[in-house]
Chain A
Amino acid sequence: QMQLVQSGAEVKKAGSSVKVSCRLSGGTFTNSAISWVRQAPGQGLEWMGGVVPMLGIVNYGRKFQGRVTIAADEVATTVHMEVTSLTSEDTAVYYCARDMVLRRGSGVLTMKPGDYWGQGTLVTVSS
């Protein structure tokens, strides 16, 4: 059974950085991409970025470019996400999600997004 297992809750000071990890067990990166999604308290879902390890492609949402880094460790089937220059607005539950690659052709990936999710990691930023 496939699972995404995330690292534990973090409490950080404003201005610092946080790194959250997501380990894929029971599956491989061969047919998987990993997205990061966050949810502030009482708010909706926000896509931050994602990585396609088999292609070495990383994409970021516009508001996160330059402040978020996503990297895959294929040997450990783990994806890490680092957020720098934290503010109180970064207080949220951070999720990783598996996007299944259904087909690949002509530079286009056909996906089934978010079929498995990690348990979430609460990041609290205090001033």
Chain B
Amino acid sequence: DIHITQSPSSLSASVGDRLTISCRASQAIGNSLAWYQQKPGEVPKLLIYAATTLQSGDPSRFSGSGSGTDFTLTISSLQPEDVATYFCLKYDSAPQTFGQGTKVEFK
């Protein structure tokens, strides 16, 4: 099975900061990577799919990049409502696999 390594596990930042979260696959997965945001007590929400495509309705400060084995989620200017845990998911073929998650907090 393909393994996904997500980093960092947590980070602290200030409003307006630029953040990057990474996911690395143990084998090439093309562009079959998605990113989710999960706020405390809520259901996960799709942000990005096909590595770079922003889900309809999501703010444009979220962007995704990468292909093959290395992928990045970027938040261009952190807002208070972005405090959450972010997960990547590889879905090129079964089994799908989530990254371990990155908890984003304010300094």
Q: Which residues of A does B touch, CB under 8 Å?
A: 35, 37, 44-47, 49-50, 59-62, 95, 97, 99, 111-115, 117-120
Contacts and interface: CB of A to CB of B under 8 A. Distances in A.
B96 A62 contact: no
A43 B89 CA distance: 15
Nearest to A65: B95
B64 interface: no
For chain A, what secondary structure do more than half of its interface residues adopt (helix, strand, loop), or is it mixed?
A: strand
Interface residues of B, number: 24
A50 B89 CA distance: 14
A117 B42 CA distance: 11
Contacts of A119: 43
For the residues of B in contact with A, the DSSP-based class is loop
B36 to A, nearest CB: 7
Contacts of A120: 43
Interface in B31-66: 32, 34, 36, 38, 43-46, 49-50, 55
Nearest to B36: A114
